[in-house]
Amino acid sequence: MELGCFSLQSLLLSLGLVILGLTHGEGLGPTKRPLPGHDERGTCRECCERGLPGQQGNPGYPGVQGPAGLPGNHGNNGNNGPSGVQGPKGDAGPTGLTGSHGSKGDQGPIGLPGKRGQAGDPGIPGAPGKPNGAVNSQALGPRGPRGQPGTRGPKGEPGQGNRNSHALGRWSAFSFGSTNVVTASTHDDRILEFNHEFVNIGDDFDPERSVFTCHINGTYYFVMHANKWSNSRNLYIKLMKNGDMVTAIYEDAGYDYYDGISNSLLLHLRRGDRVWLQLHSNNEVYGGLAKMTTFSGWLVRED
């Protein structure tokens, strides 16, 4: 009986304690109270909910300068810049002092042969030679006596008559030379001038223009001779008749300084025909004191 009373008292005591705990909110049941600053779901309402932005504060004071950083790596070389514009030419510097006389240098190589000099005056004629290689005049015997006259020959046939201009007293002949060095321009020919007269029978050759004009119909013989004294230009001369080339002479510049060339021909001319020599463009001819460039012509037979 006593044991049953003790058990009932203990049960009541425990029940009272439980009721007391629930009354003060310390239990784990649905009647638990929220913590201060929290809602019924336990969410913080004081520090976790963002409010409206406040006004901007004043700038703070500059901070203390930090320590210097470590040196950076060396950068790559840049590309070459464009070339600058050439500057103006500077003024000439003052003349330097004259240097001391140097020692004599070694002898240089032998140079190219120079141009041939002008022809000298003719020498004194030598003594007559001995016939057949004789060394003295005693190789010839004494002159024999004059022979007897021969018998008279037969009479010749009668002549056909002569219409040659020589027999009629008319003749045309000329011969002229040049002492000049004549050079034609790069693009144009030029008439070859002659400044020395050897002969001008009939005055058919005009020395002012260096042109022959025919006044007697017939056959004429012409001769031209020319010299060059340079290897820088060719020698090309044309014989012209009324503006057309008939024949020519030509000598390449080559390696020779001195060369002479000639040509000749027969031409049939009529009154008024003109003949002259013409130097080709960019060519040169040499006459010299000896008049080594010449032009001659004469009437061979009249029509």
Q: 30-43, pLDDT tens digit by residue?
A: 455 666 666 666 66
Averaged pLDDT, 111-125: 62
Per-residue pLDDT tens over the stretch 49-65: 566 888 888 888 888 88
Catalogue the E-assigned strands of the chain: 173-178, 181-183, 190-191, 196-201, 205-206, 211-213, 218-229, 235-241, 244-251, 258-269, 274-279, 284-286, 293-302
Per-residue pLDDT tens over the stretch 240-273: 999 999 999 988 877 667 778 899 999 999 999 9
Nearest of 199, 216, 200 to residue 273 by alpha carbon: 216
Prediction pTM value: 0.46
Q: Are 299 and 271 in contact (CB under 8 A)?
A: no
Question: Is residue 205 exposed (0-12), middle (13-18) or buried (19+ Cβ within 10 Å)?
Answer: buried
Average pLDDT, the chain: 77
For the ranges 59-68, 80-89, 125-134, 162-171, which has the lowest average pLDDT? 125-134
Q: How many helices (H) and strands (E) does the chain have?
A: 2, 13
Residue 28 — pLDDT band, cuts 50, 70, 90? very low
- Nearest-angstrom CA–CA distance, 291 and 300: 25
What residue type is 220 in one-letter code?
A: Y
Per-residue pLDDT tens over the stretch 199-248: 999 999 999 999 999 999 999 999 999 988 877 788 899 999 999 999 99
- Nearest-angstrom CA–CA distance, 227 and 296: 15
The pLDDT of residue 103: 81
Q: Phi/psi at 76 (nearest 5 deg)?
A: -70, 150
The pLDDT of residue 239: 96
Pairing of strands 211-213, 274-279: antiparallel
Q: Which two tokens stand for residue 210?
A: 């260096």
Residue labelled with tokens 């020599």: 277
The pLDDT of residue 35: 62
For the ranges 107-111, 134-138, 213-217, which has the lowest average pLDDT? 134-138
Q: Which two tokens stand for residue 275?
A: 């003949």
Which fold, 175-299? Jelly Rolls (2.60.120)
Tell me the C-alpha to C-alpha distance, in Å, between residue 147 and each of 81, 143, 213, 220. Answer: 114, 12, 53, 44
